[in-house]
Structure 1
Amino acid sequence: MGFVLLFLIGFGFAVSGGVTLITYLNFIPAGLSLTNYFLFIQGRIECYLLPIGLILMLISISRIPNIPVK
């Protein structure tokens, strides 16, 4: 049960971080270069939720016990 909760928390983090990165992509048509975009998101804490969420999901998937199916 704990692994399912860890997976759901990781999924929520990954979704919110991904949506934030996509939202900040709107700065590129406003005149921000790609280099400046990466420098900008490097300083935003909410952008780190995507890799944290992916790591939590990978940990929970790798720790799920193998249950044989009959």
Structure 2
Amino acid sequence: MVRFLLLLIGFGLAVIDGVSLIAYLNIITTGHGISGYLLFIKSKAELYLFLIGNVLIWLSIYFPFQKRNH
């Protein structure tokens, strides 16, 4: 149950903040370029929440929370 909750929270963070990061791609069209985009998103919380969401998804899938007795 905890793994499923982590998966849902991580997926929510990754999707919401991923959409925001894609929306910020409009900065490139204003003439700033890719380096300007990367410097801009480095200062935004969405990048870090996106990364946290991906880590939560990874943990919920690959990290064994309990050992099964077989």
Question: Could you tell me the TM-score, scaled by structure 1's length?
Answer: 0.84
Aligned to 2:18: 18
Q: Assess if the C-alpha contact under 8 Å between 1:28 and 1:34 holds in 2.
A: yes
CA–CA distance in 2 between the matches of 1:16 and 1:64? Answer: 27
RMSD, aligned α-carbons: 1.8
CA–CA distance in 1 between the matches of 2:31 and 2:49? Answer: 26
User: Once the two structures are aligned, what percentage of the paired residues are identical?
Assistant: 46
For structure 1, which runs of at least 5 residues remain unmatched after alignment?
Answer: none
The 4+ residue runs of structure 1 with deviation greater than 4 A are 64-67
Larger helix share, 1 or 2: 2
2:18 is paired with a residue of what secondary structure?
helix
1:47 is paired with a residue of what secondary structure?
helix
Question: Could you tell me the TM-score, scaled by structure 2's length?
Answer: 0.84
Structure 1 position 37 matched with structure 2 position 37? yes
